[in-house]
Structure 1
Amino acid sequence: MTSKILAERYEVHRQLGKQTGRQTLLARDLQTQELVVIKQLFLGSDCEWQDLKLFEREAETLKALSHPSIPRYLDYLEIDEPDSKGFALVQTYVEGKTLEEHLRSGRTFSESEVKELAKSLLEILIYLHEQDPPVIHRDIKPSNILLHSRSAHSVGQVYLVDFGSVQNQAAKFGGTITVVGTYGYMAPEQFGGRSVPASDLYGLGATLIYLVTGLHPTELSQQDLRIQFADRVTQLNSNLQHFRML
C-alpha cells in the first residue's frame, strides 16, 4: 500500500488521534527526514467559524514562540483534495506519553516528581505569560502535558502541547467572548469567557491535585471556589498541601 503524501513533502505514517472534523497524523518530512505531527481541520458541515478562528490562532501563536518545551511550528498547509478541504498545522514530533496516559496505566508520582513537574510547567507558563501581550494556554490538563525519557531519577523532559484553545493578542483587543477549556481544569473566570494568566495556574494546580490524589478534580468537593483535597493526601508535605495555587 502506497503511503499518502501531503503537499508533496509529508509522508503519512499513521493516525494519532481523531475527532469530528479533525485528525492528527504522524508523518515524515521528506526534505529533512524528521518525524512531524500534522493537525488537520476539515471544512465541512460540522466546522464552525469559531473552530477555524482558533485553529488559525494556534498556528500564528506557535509561529511566534520559541521554547524547548513547546513543539515548534514548522508549516501551515491548505488542504484541497477531491474528498476533503481544510487546513493543516505541522509541528515537530515529541516522543513520549501524556500524564493522562501515565495515570491510566497505574503509574504514580512521588512528591519530588510532582515538585519537579510543577517547576518545569511553571517555567513554561512564565515564558508564555511574559510575551507581549501574554499568551494564555487556557487548557492546562494531564492530556496536554507530555513526558519524555522518564527515569528512576527524573520525571523526564516536560512538554506542553495542544495550543488549540490559546488566547493571544488576537483575542486581547475586542472580539467575541469564547468559552474554552476542560471542565475540572477551568478557572471560574473561564466559564464567563474571560481568561487571565492566572487561569493557567488554576489548570496547573488542578493537574497537580490529580497527580497526588489520583482523582479527577470533578470528583473532589469545592469550598469558596477552592478544590478540597488535603484529606486525600495525608502523607504530602504540608507546605505543598497549602501552596496557594488555586
Structure 2
Amino acid sequence: MPTANPDATDQENELFAEVDPSGRFGRYEELLGHGAVKMVYRAFDLEEGREVAWNQIRLNKFSGSPFIISKIHSEIELLKNLKNDNIIVMYHFWKDTDHNILNFITEACASGNLREYRKKHRHVSIKALKKWSRQILQGLDFLHTHDPCVIHRDLNCSNIFINGNVGKVKIGDLGLATIVGKSHAAHSVLGTPEYMAPELYEENYTELVDVYSFGMCLIEMATLEIPYSECDSLAKLYKIVTSGKKPQAFNRVSDPELKAFIERCVGRPRARPSAAELLKDPFLSDYDENDLDS
C-alpha cells in the first residue's frame, strides 16, 4: 500500500512558521486577519489534508485579569463542542505557556470574511442580503438557545465568513464569546465599539446585544460603510451610541423594508426581537430555504 513520502512532509514542515504540539497542524506566516487581542494565520491540517485557520489570543493582554483568562479557557473548551452549519467549526486548542498565547484551530472559509467579500462584490441584491441574514440569524439562534446560552459579543462583518461558491455564511471568532446561565445576563465589556449595543457599555446585558450587532452588520452589508465611522474618538462614539442615535450610514440604506428590519434589530433592549423572532419577520418571509442551493 503506497504511503506519503516522508521527505515531502519534512519539506512541508520547513514552510511552517510553527507546528502545534501534536504535529497535526502547521502555521504559515501569512496573516488572514487580526484584532486587538487576536491574530489569525493561514494553516494546514496535515492529518486531513485541508487548509485551516490558526488563531492566537495573546493572554498578556489580560495579565491583570486572571479571571478573564480562566473564563476564556473554559469557554473555548465548550465552544469546541458547538456544531452548527452556520458556526465556524473549532478543531483543537492548546496553550503555549512559553509565550503566554492561547492557540485554537478553526475551519477556514474559502472566500474570507464578509467585509472583504462585500468590497470585492459591490453590487449585491436584496435577495442575497436576505440569504446572508437568514444564515447569520440561524447561527445566532443556535448560540442563544444552546444550554448554556452563548453570547457572541463581538459580531461584525470581519468575523462572519463566507464560502462564496455556494453562498454559505458562518459566524466565527467565538474565542471571546461568553457563556451565561439561566438568567442570560452577562457583565463584562468586550467587543468592537462601533457594533456594541448601548447596554453592553453599562455592563448589564443579554444575548440581544448580538441582535443589535447583527443590525449594524446589515448597515455595513447594505452601504459598505462601517457604522459610526463619522466618530473620530471613542468618547464621541460612546456618547452617540448610548444616546440611541443611529449611525449616519443608516440614512444611506435605500431599501425601505431593509431599513425597517434594521430598526427592529437596533431598537432598545426591551423592544428588540430575538434571533428566532427575526427569522419570522416579514422582511424574510419571501425567502425560500431552497434558494440557498440555487
Three-state SS of the structure 2 residue aligned to 1:217 is coil
| Aligned residue among 227, 230, 241 for 2:259 | 241
| Aligned residue among 84, 88, 105 for 1:90 | 105
Comparing 102-111 and 42-51, the one that deviates more? 42-51
Supply the distance in 1 between the matched residues of 2:142 and 2:173 (Cα, whole angstroms). 16
Alpha-carbon shift at residue 93 of structure 1 (Å)? 2.4
CA, structure 1 residues 36+223, in 2 after alignment: closer, same or farther (shift >3 Å)?
Answer: closer
Q: Which runs of 5+ in 2 are unaligned?
A: 1-10, 231-239, 267-294
CA deviations over 1:156-184 (Å, ceiling 9, x no partner): 11011101321113797999x41111122
Alpha-carbon shift at residue 219 of structure 1 (Å)? 4.2
Comparing 110-119 and 16-25, the one that deviates more? 16-25
CA deviations over 1:18-74 (Å, ceiling 9, x no partner): 567643222222222232222223454874436634532441231231112222222
Contact 1:12 1:25 in 2 (8 A): yes
Contact 1:98 1:147 in 2 (8 A): yes
Supply the distance in 2 between the matched residues of 1:126 and 1:119 (Cα, whole angstroms). 10
Is 1:5 equivalent to 2:19 in the alignment? yes
Partner of 1:186: 196
Is 1:41 equivalent to 2:57 in the alignment? yes
| Aligned residue among 56, 62, 69 for 2:79 | 62
Supply the distance in 1 between the matched residues of 2:57 and 2:241 (Cα, whole angstroms). 37
Partner of 2:178: 167
Work out the percentage of aligned pairs sharing the same amino acid. Answer: 24
CA, structure 1 residues 20+187, in 2 after alignment: closer, same or farther (shift >3 Å)?
Answer: closer
Is 1:149 equivalent to 2:164 in the alignment? yes
Supply the distance in 1 between the matched residues of 2:188 and 2:153 (Cα, whole angstroms). 11
Partner of 1:218: 228
Supply the distance in 2 between the matched residues of 1:71 and 1:14 (Cα, whole angstroms). 22
Larger radius of gyration: 2
Q: Which runs of 5+ in 1 are unaligned?
A: none
1:61-140 superposed matches below 5 A: 61-81=78-98, 84-105=99-120, 107-140=122-155
Look up the equivalent residue of 1:34 and give its one-letter code: R
Partner of 2:292: none
Contact 2:111 2:117 in 1 (8 A): no
Partner of 1:30: 46
Partner of 2:285: none
Three-state SS of the structure 1 residue aligned to 2:195 is coil
Contact 1:57 1:166 in 2 (8 A): no
Contact 1:138 1:195 in 2 (8 A): no
CA, structure 1 residues 96+54, in 2 after alignment: closer, same or farther (shift >3 Å)?
Answer: farther
Aligned length: 237
In terms of fraction of residues, the more strand-rich structure is: 1
Partner of 1:227: 246
